[in-house]
């Protein structure tokens, strides 16, 4: 049998076998058996050594032509198999967009976020700007500009996280007020929300990390009456029009005079209950008129301007709003708890 007949025989046998092949693995085996190093067509190419020099060029052309024809058959079959497999895969992965499916579980706003939004909405409605500042703060802004110099006894009340002698994790958001007074001229009306840090144990009512919302107003002829009116408006919006505020004298280095503020008990509406210990009142925040020393240290003429400041614990008013008894629930991320605020 000459070379031409051998090639025709190999091609004919291949065409017959390709009709029965159903996967790429079988096709690869056939390709190796025909065109591989030990394949039938390769063996035919090696047999050219038995031919005379005059016969070899023509034989080589026939073998190369046969290789091209056989490769084309194999490639065509591979394309068909690839197309078939791709079609099957697409059918398997087809999604019926009309098929009813259970709704995905959607997250909800955190209760503190809800209350913070309400507080800031009320304050911005009263003309306050929302201002934020760094949580890692200089001692100068966190203490000294707020009338708390080095070795001041009031610093003992603040269990502070010190990075070094001059850098702290802020113990309140008041440094934002100091920075604002240094960078703006009165009138100033700002609300300062943010995270603060104090070295405290974690229990039902305490946390080393918590949140404050502080307010500051500096202008001409600002009085305690303006402070009380602002807080009355804020808490009536949060808890209802029957809520009243009560001021009790207190002391804060940043303010003079200073006051603690009580609210009508949210639970019993002033009638007296276990939550308010029968008094009808609940303590919620500290406030007062900005100390003239603070104004002067921040470059504001205390003879021309006066102001008030207050600081609200966000966790405190959130727990009152929703009747939450344990502070830790606000931090644990328990979906069973958070889903109640949908």
- What residues have CB less than 8 Å from 219, skipping those under 6 apart? 186, 187, 188, 189, 305, 306, 307
Residue 102: the pLDDT is 86
Q: Which positions of the chain have pLDDT values less than 50?
A: 1
Query: What is the structure's pLDDT at 144?
Result: 93
Q: CA-to-CA distance for 88 and 203, rounded, in angstroms?
A: 59
Residue 18: the pLDDT is: 79
Residue 299 has a pLDDT of 94
pTM above 0.85, yes or no: no
CB proximity list for 118: less than 8 A, separation 6 or greater: 237, 238
Q: Quick check: 104 and 164 in contact, CB under 8 A?
A: no
Question: What distances in angstroms separate CA 114 from CA 205, 285, 308, 327, one per listed residue?
Answer: 20, 19, 26, 16
Query: Tokens for 18?
Result: 């390709």
Provide the pLDDT for residue 175.
Answer: 95
Rg (CA), the chain: 41
The pLDDT value given to residue 1: 45
CA atoms within 13 A on the CB side of 78: 13
Check if the beta carbon of residue 212 is closer than 8 Å to that of residue 272.
no
Alpha-carbon distance of 167 to 172, in angstroms, equals: 14
């Amino acid at each position: 049998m000459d070379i031409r007949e051998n090639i025709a025989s190999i091609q004919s046998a291949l065409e017959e076998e390709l009709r029965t092949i159903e996967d790429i693995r079988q096709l690869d085996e056939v390709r190796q058996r025909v065109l591989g190093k030990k394949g039938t067509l390769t063996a035919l190419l090696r047999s050219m050594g038995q031919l005379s020099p005059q016969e070899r060029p023509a034989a080589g052309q026939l073998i190369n032509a046969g290789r091209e024809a056989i490769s084309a058959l194999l490639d065509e079959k591979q394309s068909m198999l690839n197309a078939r497999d791709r079609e099957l895969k697409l059918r398997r992965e087809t999604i019926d967009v009309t098929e009813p499916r259970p709704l995905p579980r959607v997250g909800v706003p955190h209760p503190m976020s809800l209350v913070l939004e309400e507080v800031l909405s009320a304050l911005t409605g009263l003309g306050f700007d929302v201002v934020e500042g760094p949580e890692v703060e200089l001692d100068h802004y966190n203490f000294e500009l707020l009338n708390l110099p080095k070795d001041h006894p009031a610093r003992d009340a603040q269990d502070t996280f010190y990075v070094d002698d001059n850098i702290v994790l802020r113990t309140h958001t008041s440094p934002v007020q100091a920075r604002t007074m240094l960078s703006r001229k009165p009138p100033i009306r700002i609300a300062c929300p943010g995270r603060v840090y104090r070295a405290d144990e974690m229990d039902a009512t305490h946390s080393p990390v918590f949140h404050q919302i502080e307010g500051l107003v500096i202008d001409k002829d600002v009085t305690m009456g303006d402070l009380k009116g602002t807080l009355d408006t804020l808490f009536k919006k949060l808890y209802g029009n029957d809520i009243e505020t009560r001021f009790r004298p207190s002391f804060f280095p940043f303010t003079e005079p200073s006051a603690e503020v009580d609210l009508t008990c949210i639970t019993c509406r002033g009638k007296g209950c276990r939550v308010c210990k029968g008094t009808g009142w609940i303590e919620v925040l500290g406030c007062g008129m900005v100390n003239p020393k603070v104004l002067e240290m921040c470059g504001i003429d205390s003879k021309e301007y006066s102001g008030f400041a207050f600081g609200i614990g966000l966790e405190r008013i959130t727990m009152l709003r929703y009747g939450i008894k344990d502070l830790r629930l606000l931090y644990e991320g328990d979906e069973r708890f958070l889903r109640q605020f949908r």
